[in-house]
Amino acid sequence: MTEAYDAGPVAALRRIAFLLERAREDTYKVKAYRAAAAAVLQLGDDELGRRVGDGTLTELPGIGASTAAVVTEAARGRLPRRLGDLEHRLGGPQTAGGHALRAALRGDLHSHSDWSDGGSPIEEMAMTAMELGHDYLVLTDHSPRLKVARGLSASRLARQLEVVDAVNEHLGGATSAAPEGFRLLKGIEVDILDDGGLDQSDEMLEQLDLRVASVHSKLRMDSRPMTRRMVAAVRNPFVNVLGHCTGRLVTGGRGTRPPSTFDAEEVFAACVEHDVAVEINARPERRDPPTALLELARDLGCLFSIDSDAHAPGQLDLQVHGCERAEAAGIDPDRIVNTWSRDRLISWARPR
Ligand SMILES: [Zn+2]
Ligand SMILES: [Zn+2]
């Protein structure tokens, strides 16, 4: 006997994509499911029923044999086998701890769309953040110098801000009349240049709700100049969050990379002085900062943000990995800026 399933083909395809992305499968493998969901969404019920009946789903662009099987099973009210397998294998809790803190998070400060190196459109990221129960998601695509990640020039960023407005309107997000709804916030993950400057114009940075600043180049710089570089960025009045501070990679498809070296006490003290949050990057391949630095930042009195750094919708659900580490380090939830209300967060993030 197969299990009953009543959420329909689009939800089945999206759930499969979500589970694969959360497990950080190659986005190429996942794209087929998202493309098929988009294709099915465009069909009327009549055409869907007819094509399921006569087995012609695969004639549609975007639907192959395996996605057609999912659509057919779901349309007939049965749990698709592929989905059942994935729920069994990947659908359970990702971590032992961190769940209470995760439940206290109101949003996510670091995420990427297909405008830079993410795999999905802005609206799909926003929709998934809503489904995860967030009040907001900050969209933080890369800045121009990160060419491999298709970083956004000032003019592309200006265009993206208009798209964010349109997405908020489309999602019926928060307005002054209904301030409680979900809202996609305007942000950036801006590169920290070699001299500590930021890779975007002040004019553009000013228009954003929040800015994450990260080092992506010359990660092996000597400790002294690296410390100066990071402290200069932290002092910049536009910077709100110091992203993945050591740049290390501990596991995963991109291989491993040692942490950058810098005077962490000096950098974190500057974060305290200038009201900049130290990011706990939740990606399992980053686990950044390492535990000793996380505890140092805790002892120095830093604020924190726990961010997914999602490059696909399902990766938005990786935050619990960072929550588990923050809980283990005994960090007070009130020092984690994404436990705050959206209004409090936005006013904290105004340029100093
Ligand atoms: Zn980054
Ligand atoms: Zn990022």
Neighbours of ion ligand 1 (CB under 5 A): 214
Between the CA of 100 and the centroid of ligand 1 the distance, in Å, is 27
Write phi, then psi, for 16 (nearest 5 degrees): -60, -45
Q: Give me the pLDDT at residue 253, please.
A: 75
Between the CA of 64 and the centroid of ligand 1 the distance, in Å, is 34
Kindly state the DSSP code that residue 152 receives in the 8-state scheme.
P
Between the CA of 261 and the centroid of ligand 2 the distance, in Å, is 20
Between the CA of 108 and the centroid of ligand 2 the distance, in Å, is 12
Regarding whether 179 and 197 lie in a shared domain, the answer is yes
Last-in-domain residue among 72, 90, 108: 90
Nearest Cα to 198, choosing from 229, 157, 160? 229
Between the CA of 215 and the centroid of ligand 1 the distance, in Å, is 7
Regarding whether 108 and 32 lie in a shared domain, the answer is no
Sheet holding 210-214, edge to edge: 107-108, 136-139, 183-191, 210-214, 241-242, 277-281, 303-307
pLDDT tens, position by position, for the chain (352 residues)? Answer: 679 999 999 999 999 999 999 999 887 789 999 999 999 999 989 999 999 999 999 999 999 999 999 999 999 999 999 999 999 999 999 999 999 999 999 999 999 999 999 999 999 999 999 999 999 999 999 999 999 899 999 999 999 999 999 999 988 766 555 557 899 999 999 999 999 999 999 999 999 999 999 999 999 999 999 999 999 999 999 999 999 999 999 987 778 999 999 999 999 999 999 999 999 999 999 999 999 999 999 999 999 999 999 999 999 999 999 999 999 999 999 999 999 999 999 999 999 9
- Over the range 229-261, which residues count as b (16 or more CB within 10 Å of their CB) and which as e? bbbbbbebebbbbbbbbbbbbeeeeeeeeebbe
Q: Give me the pLDDT at residue 104, please.
A: 98
Regarding whether 144 and 25 lie in a shared domain, the answer is no
Kindly state the DSSP code that residue 92 receives in the 8-state scheme.
S
Write phi, then psi, for 47 (nearest 5 degrees): -65, -40
Residue 290 forms part of a structural domain = yes
Q: How far is CA 138 from CA 58, 113, 182, in A?
A: 37, 11, 11
Between the CA of 189 and the centroid of ligand 2 the distance, in Å, is 6
Between the CA of 325 and the centroid of ligand 2 the distance, in Å, is 19
Regarding whether 291 and 208 lie in a shared domain, the answer is yes
Last-in-domain residue among 55, 71, 90: 90
Nearest Cα to 183, choosing from 14, 309, 343? 343
Regarding whether 236 and 156 lie in a shared domain, the answer is yes
Regarding whether 71 and 20 lie in a shared domain, the answer is yes
Judged by its nearest atom, the ligand closest to the C-alpha of residue 141 is 2
pTM exceeding 0.85? yes
Regarding whether 116 and 40 lie in a shared domain, the answer is no
Report the C-alpha gap between 118 and 109 in whole angstroms.
15
Number of domains in the chain: 2
Write phi, then psi, for 320 (nearest 5 degrees): -60, -25
Between the CA of 36 and the centroid of ligand 2 the distance, in Å, is 27
Between the CA of 241 and the centroid of ligand 1 the distance, in Å, is 12
User: Any idea what the CATH number is for the domain that residue 124 is in?
Assistant: 3.20.20.140
Cβ proximity of 192 and 229 under 8 Å: yes
Regarding whether 309 and 211 lie in a shared domain, the answer is yes
Sign of the torsion formed by the C-alpha atoms of 176, 177, 179 and 181: negative
Residue 202 forms part of a structural domain = yes
Between the CA of 62 and the centroid of ligand 1 the distance, in Å, is 31
Between the CA of 331 and the centroid of ligand 1 the distance, in Å, is 23
Q: How far is CA 262 from CA 101, 107, 219, 310, in A?
A: 30, 30, 10, 26
Between the CA of 349 and the centroid of ligand 1 the distance, in Å, is 19
Per the structure, the complete domain to which residue 77 belongs is given by 8-90
Residue 178 forms part of a structural domain = yes
Judged by its nearest atom, the ligand closest to the C-alpha of residue 117 is 2
Can you tell me which residue has the tokens 């998202």?
34
Q: Give me the pLDDT at residue 77, please.
A: 97
Judged by its nearest atom, the ligand closest to the C-alpha of residue 310 is 2
Regarding whether 164 and 59 lie in a shared domain, the answer is no
Last-in-domain residue among 70, 90, 110: 90
Between the CA of 112 and the centroid of ligand 2 the distance, in Å, is 6
Residue 1 forms part of a structural domain = no
Regarding whether 256 and 177 lie in a shared domain, the answer is yes
Regarding whether 225 and 76 lie in a shared domain, the answer is no
Encoded amino acid at 297, one letter: A
Regarding whether 344 and 281 lie in a shared domain, the answer is yes
